[in-house]
């Protein structure tokens, strides 16, 4: 195969998906001696553009799992703005140690619809954006090493393959097309309804640096008055985790109860799930 460029593309409000995309795209670039480019589509501006790939490209694409699927507000970008032409890809998801449900199968499915040929796939257990005790500190060194050796193995198989057509679609766990979104639960097992919750600001800590407005994945925070969140909030936690003062927080009772439920029930750390490339 005549691959000439590796691209790592990721949506990563709290940074886990970015680390894994860079580990795998970097390892592929090193193994193949090829240049590596990155598309960070975490912010709205990057999602307003279209990116076209050909048969000499290899795309590593990662998203976090939200409610057992791909983040629904980002799905249109994955469907419409990344265009392949028989382009080999490595789709992966990060999930916060509860479950990846149909997140990975949805990404494989959407990649195929968008002209890509997923050759290998993975779901990584990573620190939960709502609850830092879940898969705390992951991806850690061992996860990154596992991701890199998975990528190097993919390159070994690509180097010996005739064309992208030779690859079998990885038989990942999950439904294709995907099933319904996971419904978050409260501690008492009832549905946790916090769709309309928005991040608050502790006035004693906030120094009006504007970081939260700059990192908001929906561009929803008013930079002139960061207490004002006029746009939609997808609860990605970028503002909460990246605020240098620790001034942003959620106080919605159902959100807090869901977080407590996750912390109680999903302590047991999950292994990563990897589908190595195979030829037909």
Ligand X SMILES: Cc1cc2nc3c(=O)[nH]c(=O)nc-3n(C[C@H](O)[C@H](O)[C@H](O)COP(=O)(O)O)c2cc1C
Catalog residues that contact ligand X under the rule CB under 6 A.
Answer: 12-17, 64-68, 94-99, 126-130, 182, 235-237
Least Å distance between CB 138 and ligand X? 8
Task: Mention every residue, 6+ apart, whose C-beta is less than 8 A from residue 84.
Answer: 53, 57, 59, 111, 114, 115, 116, 117
Nearer to ligand X, 11 or 167 (CB): 11
Nearer to ligand X, 56 or 190 (CB): 190
Cα–Cα distance measured from residue 201 to residue 204, given in angstroms and rounded to the nearest whole number = 9
Task: Mention every residue, 6+ apart, whose C-beta is less than 8 A from residue 121.
Answer: 90, 91, 92, 104, 107, 108, 170, 172, 274, 275
Least Å distance between CB 156 and ligand X? 27
Nearer to ligand X, 42 or 164 (CB): 42
Residue 69 has a CB neighbour count (10 Å cut-off) of 24
Cα–Cα distance measured from residue 55 to residue 105, given in angstroms and rounded to the nearest whole number = 23
Nearer to ligand X, 21 or 164 (CB): 21
Alpha helices in the chain (DSSP H): 16-32, 75-80, 103-113, 141-159, 211-215, 238-242, 253-265
Nearer to ligand X, 55 or 198 (CB): 198
Task: Mention every residue, 6+ apart, whose C-beta is less than 8 A from residue 31.
Answer: 151, 152, 155, 156
Based on its alpha-carbon atoms, the radius of gyration of the chain, rounded to whole angstroms, reads 19
Nearer to ligand X, 92 or 167 (CB): 92
Nearer to ligand X, 59 or 94 (CB): 94
Least Å distance between CB 177 and ligand X? 18
Cα–Cα distance measured from residue 28 to residue 149, given in angstroms and rounded to the nearest whole number = 9
Least Å distance between CB 159 and ligand X? 30
Residue closest to ligand X, measured at CB: 96
Least Å distance between CB 2 and ligand X? 32
Least Å distance between CB 48 and ligand X? 20
The upper half-sphere exposure of residue 275, i.e. CA atoms within 13 Å in the direction of its Cβ, equals: 24
Least Å distance between CB 219 and ligand X? 16
């Amino acid at each position: 195969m005549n691959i000439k460029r590796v691209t790592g593309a990721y949506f990563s409000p709290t940074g886990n998906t970015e680390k894994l995309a860079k580990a795998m795209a970097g390892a592929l670039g090193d193994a193949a001696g090829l240049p590596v480019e990155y598309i960070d589509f975490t912010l709205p501006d990057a999602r307003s553009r279209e990116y076209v790939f050909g048969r000499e490209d290899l795309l590593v694409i990662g998203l976090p799992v939200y409610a057992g699927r791909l983040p629904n507000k980002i799905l249109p970008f994955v469907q419409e703005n990344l265009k392949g032409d028989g382009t080999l890809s490595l789709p992966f998801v990060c999930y916060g140690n509860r479950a990846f449900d149909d997140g990975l199968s949805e990404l494989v499915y959407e990649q195929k619809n968008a002209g890509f040929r997923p050759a290998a796939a993975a779901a990584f257990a990573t620190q939960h954006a709502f609850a830092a005790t879940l898969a705390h500190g992951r991806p850690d060194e061992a996860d990154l090493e596992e991701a890199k050796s998975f990528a190097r193995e993919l390159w070994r198989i690509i180097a010996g393959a005739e064309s992208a057509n030779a690859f079998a679609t990885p038989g990942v766990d999950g439904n294709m097309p995907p099933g319904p979104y996971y419904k978050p639960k409260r501690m008492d097992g009832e549905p946790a309804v916090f769709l309309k919750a928005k991040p608050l600001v502790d006035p004693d800590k906030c120094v009006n640096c504007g970081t939260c407005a700059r990192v908001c994945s929906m561009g929803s925070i008013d930079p002139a008055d960061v207490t004002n969140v006029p746009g939609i909030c997808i609860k990605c936690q970028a503002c909460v985790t990246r605020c240098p003062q620790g001034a942003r927080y959620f106080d919605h009772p159902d959100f807090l109860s869901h977080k407590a439920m996750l912390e109680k029930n999903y302590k047991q750390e999950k292994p990563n799930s990897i589908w190595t490339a195979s030829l037909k």
